[in-house]
Amino acid sequence: MPSSAGHRRFAAAWDWLSRHESARERRLRARLAGQATGRVLEIGYGVGSNWPHLPADVDYVGIEPDPYMRERAERHRPPGRELDLRDGDAQALDFPDASFDTVIGTLVLCTVPDPAAALREIRRVLKPGGRLIFWEHVNARAKAGRLALGAITPLWSRVGGGCHPNRDTLQAIEAAGFAVEDLRRGKIGPLPAISGVARPAEAAP
C-alpha cells in the first residue's frame, strides 16, 4: 500500500487529472451518473468527479476512505446541493440491506483491496431491482497485454494509490451474482476499460 505521503500526492494528482479529463471521458461520466435514480450510494467518490452529472432529484450518499481525497473533494462540492459525504470502506458498508436504488462505482474496483468483498457488499445494500453503475479499467483480453499489465502492476500500484491495472473486473462483477447490461468496452489512455450497468442476477429482466 502507498504511504500516507503517497496517498496525499495521489489525491493531488487525481484532482488535477480529473479537472483535465477529455470531453469523451466527461460524456461517459455524464451518461453513467445521469442514470442514477432514487437513493444513491457512490463508493470511493474521490474528488467528486461524478457530482456535476448527477440528476437533481437523487438522494446521494458518498463514501471515501482516503482523507486526502475527502479534503480535496470538499473544494468541489456543488453549491446548493445536498450531498451526504462520509468516511467509509466499500468492503464493509455501514448501511442496512436493500437500502439503495443505485450504487455508482467508477475507477474504484481497481483500487479496493478485496473487490469480491466490495461487490458482495454492493449487492447486499442494493434493493431488489437496484443497479450498479460502473466504469473500470480492466485487464487486457490478449495474452501479451495481460503479461504487460501484470509486469507494470507493482510499480503502478505504488504510484497510483493502490490501483491494480490487471484485474478481471467484469468476471468479478458476474461472479458476485450480477447480470451485466449495456456493457461497453473502451480505453482509458492505453488501458482497456469497461462501463455499464449490472443488476443482482435474480432481478435481471
**At closest approach, how far in Å is the CB of 151 from ligand SAM?**
20
d(CA 113, CA 162): 8
**At closest approach, how far in Å is the CB of 24 from ligand SAM?**
15
Do the strands 59-63 and 83-86 form a parallel or antiparallel pair, or are they unpaired?
Answer: parallel
**Location of C-alpha cell 462483477:** 173
Judged by beta carbon, residue 94 or residue 182, the one nearer ligand SAM is 94
* CA nearest to 135, candidates 202, 35, 55: 35
Judged by beta carbon, residue 14 or residue 178, the one nearer ligand SAM is 14
**At closest approach, how far in Å is the CB of 135 from ligand SAM?**
7
Q: Are 38 and 46 in contact (CB under 8 A)?
A: no
Could you say which DSSP state residue 48 is in?
T
Judged by beta carbon, residue 84 or residue 201, the one nearer ligand SAM is 84
Judged by beta carbon, residue 1 or residue 147, the one nearer ligand SAM is 1
Other residues' Cβ atoms within 10 Å of the Cβ of residue 174: 15
Judged by beta carbon, residue 101 or residue 121, the one nearer ligand SAM is 121
Q: Are 86 and 69 in contact (CB under 8 A)?
A: no
**At closest approach, how far in Å is the CB of 98 from ligand SAM?**
20
Q: Which bin fits 182, alpha (ψ -120 to 50), beta or left (φ > 0)?
A: left
Other residues' Cβ atoms within 10 Å of the Cβ of residue 128: 9
In this structure, the dihedral spanned by the alpha carbons of residues 170, 47, 69 and 59, taken in order and rounded to 10 degrees, is -80
Judged by beta carbon, residue 18 or residue 157, the one nearer ligand SAM is 18
**At closest approach, how far in Å is the CB of 12 from ligand SAM?**
12
Report the residue number whose CB is nearest to ligand SAM: 46
**Cell numbers standing for residue 48:** 467528486
Residues lying near ligand SAM in the complex (CB under 6 A):
14, 18, 43-46, 49, 63-66, 69, 89-91, 106-108, 111-112, 163
**At closest approach, how far in Å is the CB of 112 from ligand SAM?**
4
